[in-house]
Structure 1
Amino acid sequence: MATHREWIALYLKGVAMGSADAVPGVSGGTIALVVGIYERLIAAITAVDPARLRRILAGVRPANIPDARAAFHEIDGAFLLVLGAGIATAVVAVLSVVNHLLTTQPVATYGFFFGLIAASAAVLLDGVALDTPRRQGAAIAGFTVAFLASGYASTALDSSLPVVFVAGAVAVSAMVLPGVSGSLLLVVLGQYEHMSGVVSRAIDGAVALARGEGAAGLTEVAPTIAAFLLGGVVGVVTIAHAVKYALARARAATLAFLVSLIVGALRAPLVEVSIRLAESGETWRAAAPRFALVAVGGAAVVFVLDRYSAAIEY
C-alpha cells in the first residue's frame, strides 16, 4: 500500500510529465523514463481495454462493485489517476501561459518550439538505423507525412469536433512514447493554438462560475474539451496499442518513422510564424534574429534533458 508521501511524489512526477507534454518537441515519455515510472506507465495504459472499462463503469450498480474494483486494480487505476491529475495540472497551467505568449509574442514562442523540435530530432537521430531499404522507406514516409501535414493542416483544417477528436487521439497516444511529443503533433495538425486557447477560456469560465457569474464560459468550451478527452481515451485504447505492436514487430523501422515525423514537423513552426508575420506586416528578415535566439534556448532545454536521460535504456 502506497504512503501519502509516495502518492505526492507520483503527483509531482505527473506535473513534470505534463509540463513537458504541454510544449512541442519535449516528450512526456522521456520524463517518465527520467523519473523511473515509464515501464509501469506502459503496463497500466496497455492494460486498459474496452472490457475492463465496461467492468469499471458497471460499478455504479452495488452488485458489480467488487468486480469493478478488481478491474480498476488490473489497470493500476490509482496510479493512472494520481499521475493523470499531476499531468492535467501542469498542462492547464503551462497552456494558459503559452496561450498568452502566442498572442503577445508569437514569433519568439514558435522560435522556442522550433529549437525544442530541432534538438529532439538531433538527439533521437543518433539512435535510428537507416541501413536497410525498409527502414529508409519508413523514414521517408514519416518525414513526408509530417512535412505535408505541417503545411496543409495549419491553413486548411478547421477546429471542428471531429478534427479535435482525432487530434486528441493522436496527441494523447503519443505521450507514452519517449521522444515523440503530443503537443508537437497538435502543432502539425494545426490544433495547438486552438487547444491552448480552449484551456485558457475554460479556466476563465471556471473562475467566473466560482464568482457566481454563471457557467456560460464553461458551457462554450465543454464540447471541445469532451471531444479531445474522448479522442484521448480512444487513442490510448487503440493507437497506443498499434504502435506497441509495430515496435514489437519492426522496432527499427517504426522508430525511423517516428523520429522522421519529428524532422518533417520542423516545417510547422515556420508555417505558423509565416502566417503571423503576414497578418502583422512584419518581414522574416526583421523577425529572424529573435526567432533564432529563442530557438537556441529551446534546443538547450532538450540537450539538458537528454544529458540526464542518456543512460536510460528506451
Structure 2
Amino acid sequence: MWEWKNIYRGMIMGASDVIPGVSGGTIAVMLGIYDRLIAAINGIFSKEWKTHLRFLIPLGIGVVTSILVLAKLIEWLFEHYPAPTQFLFMGLIIGIIPYLAQKSEMKTNFKPYHYILLLIGAVIVASMVFFKSEETAVIQDITTGTYVLLFFSGFIASAAMILPGISGSFILLIIGVYSTVISSISNFQLDVIFVVGVGILIGIVVMSKLIKFFLENYSSATYALIIGLVVGSIVVIFPGIPESAALIIASVLTFLVGLFFARVLGRIEYS
C-alpha cells in the first residue's frame, strides 16, 4: 500500500534541507519516521523492495517538490528574515523532544552511560557553531574538477544530512558550494543538480547502513545519541537575539508557531 501521506512529510524535510543549520534527519525524527526511513533505504536491495519503495517514493516526491518549489522562498526568507525563520525551526525541534524521549522510553531504558552519550552528541553538534564560514560566490566556470567537487560535496553532505542535528546544507556552506547548489536548483541547472544528486543518493545509502546496524544492535544507546544530536542542533540554529523590537516579536511568534506545530505533529506521528 502506497504511503501517500509521506508527501507532506517529505515537503517538510525538503524545506528544512535548504536551510543551513537545520537537519533533514532531525525533521525525520520529529515526524516519527526516522527508524522507518533508515530501514526503507536499506530495504531497497532486499526482497521486500516494493514495500520500501511505496514508503520512499512519496517521501521523495515531497522532498523534491519542496526543494524545487520552495528553494527561492526559503532562500529569500533566510536572507532577509533569518532570525524568525530559524526560531520557527527551533520551536519545532524543542517541541518534539518530549515525544522523542517518550518513544525511546528514556525513563525506563536509559542508564547513566546513555545520558553521557546524549551529552556527547549534543556537544558534537553544538560545537559546529564555531565553524565560521563565509558564503562563497556561485561557481560560474564549471569544469571536470568542479563536478568532482560537487559530487563529493553531495556525498559528504548527505551522509551528514541523514544524521539528526547535522545539517547537510551547513556542510555545503563549510565546503563552499552552498551558493552554487542553491543557485542551480533555483535556475534548473540540470548538470549540477544531477552530479550533486548522485552524490547525495550514494551518501544516504552508505550512511543508512551504518545507522541501521546501530539501531538494531544498540537501540537505546543510538536513541540517546540521536536525542543529543537533536538537542545540540538547537545551539547551531539559534541566531542570537534579534536586533529590533519588531524582529523580536516576529521571532517569538514564529517560535510559538513552531511549538504549536510540533505538538500537533507529535500527536499525529507519535500517537
Normalised TM-score (structure 1): 0.63
Match of 1:104 in 2: 80
The one-letter code matched in structure 2 to 1:139 is: L
Match of 1:27 in 2: 27
Q: Deviations over 1:94-146 (max 9, x none)?
A: 33321121122222111212212222234323443574233122112101111
Q: Which runs of 5+ in 2 are unaligned?
A: 17-21, 138-148
Q: Which has the larger radius of gyration?
A: 1
Cα distance change on mapping 1:158 and 1:118 into 2, 3 Å: farther
Match of 1:16 in 2: 8
Cα distance change on mapping 1:288 and 1:252 into 2, 3 Å: same
Match of 2:263 in 1: 303
- The match for 1:134 among 113, 121, 127 is 113
The one-letter code matched in structure 2 to 1:94 is: L
Report 1:57-206 matches (<5 A). Answer: 75-76=49-50, 79=54, 80-81=56-57, 83-126=59-102, 127=104, 128-129=106-107, 131-152=110-131, 154-155=132-133, 161=150, 162-171=152-161, 173-174=162-163, 180=164, 185-186=167-168, 189=171, 191=173, 195=178, 198-199=181-182, 201-203=184-186, 205-206=187-188
Q: What is the CA–CA distance in structure 2 between the aligned matches of 1:236 and 1:134, rounded to whole Å? A: 29
Cα distance change on mapping 1:19 and 1:108 into 2, 3 Å: same
Q: What is the CA–CA distance in structure 2 between the aligned matches of 1:104 and 1:288, rounded to whole Å? A: 14
Cα distance change on mapping 1:156 and 1:97 into 2, 3 Å: closer
Match of 1:234 in 2: 202
Q: What is the CA–CA distance in structure 1 between the aligned matches of 2:32 and 2:99, rounded to whole Å? A: 17
Cα distance change on mapping 1:200 and 1:236 into 2, 3 Å: same
Number of residue pairs the alignment of both structures matches: 245
Conserved 8 A contact 1:150-1:265:
no
The one-letter code matched in structure 1 to 2:220 is: A
The one-letter code matched in structure 1 to 2:168 is: L
Q: What is the CA–CA distance in structure 1 between the aligned matches of 2:269 and 2:74, rounded to whole Å? A: 26
Q: Deviations over 1:233-264 (max 9, x none)?
A: 22332211111111111111110101111111
Q: Deviations over 1:267-308 (max 9, x none)?
A: 1122xx35xx9xxxx737774333222111111111110011
The one-letter code matched in structure 2 to 1:18 is: G
Tell me the SS of whatever aligns to 1:283: coil
Q: What is the CA–CA distance in structure 1 between the aligned matches of 2:99 and 2:244, rounded to whole Å? A: 28
Q: What is the CA–CA distance in structure 1 between the aligned matches of 2:244 and 2:90, rounded to whole Å? A: 15
- The match for 2:248 among 288, 299, 308 is 288
Match of 1:258 in 2: 226
Percent of aligned positions that are identical: 20
- Displacement over 6 Å in runs of 4+: 156-160
Cα distance change on mapping 1:30 and 1:286 into 2, 3 Å: closer
Q: What is the CA–CA distance in structure 1 between the aligned matches of 2:124 and 2:170, rounded to whole Å? A: 10
Higher relative CO (Cα under 8 Å, sequence separation at least 6) belongs to 2
Q: CA deviation at 1:266?
A: 0.8
Report 1:38-49 matches (<5 A). Answer: 39=36, 43-48=39-44
What is the root-mean-square deviation in Å for CA atoms of aligned residues?
Answer: 3.7
Q: Which runs of 5+ in 1 are unaligned?
A: 50-70, 175-179, 207-217
Conserved 8 A contact 1:165-1:231:
yes
